[in-house]
Amino acid sequence: MSRILLVCGGTGGHLAPGIALAQRLTEEGHECLLMVSRKTVDARMTANYPRLKFIAGSGRGWGSGLWNKVLFFPALLGAISNAWRLLGSFNPDTVVCFGGFMSLGPALAAWLRRRPLIVHEANRKTGKAVRLIARFADAVHLPPGVRIPGIAESRQHDSGYPVRQEVRPAARDAARRALGFPFTGKLLLVAGGSQGAQKLTRWVESAWPELATRGIHVLALTGPNGQEVERREGSAVLKFLPFSHQMGHVYSAADLAVTRAGAGTLAELASCRTPAILVPLPSAAEDHQTANAVFMTKTGAALLLAERDLPELTPLVLKNISDAEALAAMRNALALADTRNRWEDLAQETITRARAFRPQPA
């Protein structure tokens, strides 16, 4: 049995693949410790995995403005120091980082302690932390076709997005029963990602009267600070939830989704074959959500709408949610995207490097 330190957290897009990889590795008897942030989103998600081991790390994003940049360096030194001590006590055989502000300190500590280091990037535009860690990592796992200039090709690998075991398609009626929605009528899912999306929530508020008159149900995931409210108008049901631990059911119950375009959301939509209108978050680092969405829409697996065009969302939803042919075409493209989401190489390389670092007894 090997020991693996997984550095994830900070956003659902970083945390979810860490959890998925930990699920996969623990099934084979490896011991995993997941380093997460102290954010509310991490606390909500990790609470649903009592069999996994989590520890709070430290760190700070680069941010904008001079003061944020000044504070970044002492925070980085603290993160390296904390990770150095953890590496000494947990003694992992491999460290896997999933990007974001959480990753840099532990990655540097792993390099200084000469531990095998793997970094995974989920988005089609690489983040600053991943580009830096890639300079000294043993292996860099990237979306197919994405490469980081200046890094040896032999260290860069095509990789998919690890999807949690429970985010799998379910029977539509069973999913609706689990979520408390009627079996009849169309259901629209609106999800702003782990950080929530106030603009999408406000759109739901404004569009609800028209959606309700057409008998369309709505499930809106508002994020950690959102409300938990249920409304009924005629036969239509609207539910606002801050968070859901039943994402397989959430995706499977919906006829159409309106979501942001983080890599995790796209992989989960594909896993559950849920057609979607993607509204990329324009403030996302490196505008990576737009790059993700453009790639997804080129395959026919989703539709793309810029946030500045939100006034056009209601007619776009009404046009597509009852268009059986369009929905079927997207589901077919999503199925193909799911089959191409191969992340087994990431799991196998993690195990191989761990065993090479500390050979197992015969």
Record: fold of 172-340:
Rossmann fold (3.40.50)
DSSP assignments along 244-301, one per residue: -S-HHHHHHH-SEEEE---HHHHHHHHHHT--EEE---TTSGGGHHHHHHHHHHHTTS
The residues spanned by each domain of the chain are: 3-162+343-357, 172-340
Answer whether CATH 3.30.300.30 is correct for domain 3-162+343-357.
no
Do the two domains 3-162+343-357 and 172-340 of this chain adopt the same fold?
A: yes
The pLDDT-based confidence of 227 (bands split at 50, 70, 90) is: confident
Please determine, for residue 201, whether its predicted confidence score (pLDDT) is greater than 70: yes
Give the per-residue pLDDT at 194.
Answer: 65
Q: pLDDT tier at 150 (50, 70, 90 boundaries)?
A: very high
Nearest C-alpha neighbor of 41 from the set 87, 102, 131, 106: 102
The per-residue pLDDT of the chain, averaged, comes to: 93
Give the tens place of pLDDT for each residue, 325-339: 999 999 999 999 999
CA 188 to CA 211: how far, in whole Å? 9
- How much is the pLDDT for 70? 67
- Report the pLDDT averaged over residues 296-319: 97
Cα dist from 145 to 118, 190, 205, whole Å: 18, 30, 39
The pLDDT score that the predictor gives to residue 41 is 84
pLDDT at 163 over 90: yes
